[in-house]
Amino acid sequence: MSSKRFPFRGLFSVAVVQRSNTGFSLVELMVVLTIVAIAFNIAMPSFTAMIARNQAATDVNEFLLTVNLARSEALKIGGTTSIQALDASDTSNEFGAGWCVVEGDPGDCSGTLIRSFPALVGNVSLNSIENASSIQFNYLGELADGVVQKIDLCTSQTDRRIFIALIGRPKSHRPNDADAAKQPACS
């Protein structure tokens, strides 16, 4: 850049700066766009897998919340509450179509409704290993029927088993869990 000084009448002078116009050439712009496109194509599969894993974690956490809600309601009312599947006819995906928490054990969601949960989104199943379409908790927050409940969440990216102990406490397990009984049996 060069500058020239133009004197004005008086005490001040103004410096005029001449700038040359520079920018990106078409070739430089195409190289940058190609690099961005390659980086996007490399990152996209990882990003899609991350979204699927996060959705599976959300689904598992929602069912864990349901179990804890049912247990606390059983303690609060001093009686039985249950988690009921909305569509008990599908024995390979009992809770995938949605579920609800109700007082008592009406066999469906027609009882005193505490909360309802929508169906899972996508190609996801939430299957009870014992083919139970209802899980009951007694006034102590324990499983009322005395049978440990195992529910498998099966997705294309990740699988989880929700294991509900006799005392009613739920926990999520991964396929590489040390205890084979707590590993999901998704196919």
Q: What is the pLDDT of residue 168?
A: 94
Asked if 184 and 127 count as a contact pair (C-beta separation under 8 A), the reply is no
What CATH superfamily is the domain 55-187? minor pseudopilin epsh domain (3.55.40.10)
* DSSP secondary structure code for residue 104 in this structure: S
Q: What is the pLDDT of residue 3?
A: 55
Separation CA 135–CA 25 (nearest Å): 67
- Which residues of the chain fall below pLDDT 70? 1-21, 187
Q: What is the pLDDT of residue 157?
A: 80
Region for residue 141 given its phi and psi (left: phi exceeds 0; alpha: psi -120 to 50; beta: otherwise): left
Chain centre to alpha carbon of residue 43: 20
Asked if 123 and 156 count as a contact pair (C-beta separation under 8 A), the reply is yes
Q: What is the pLDDT of residue 5?
A: 58
pTM: 0.76
Amino acid at 66: T
Summarised one tens digit per residue, pLDDT across range 141-167 is 999 998 999 999 998 888 999 999 999
Asked if 19 and 123 count as a contact pair (C-beta separation under 8 A), the reply is no
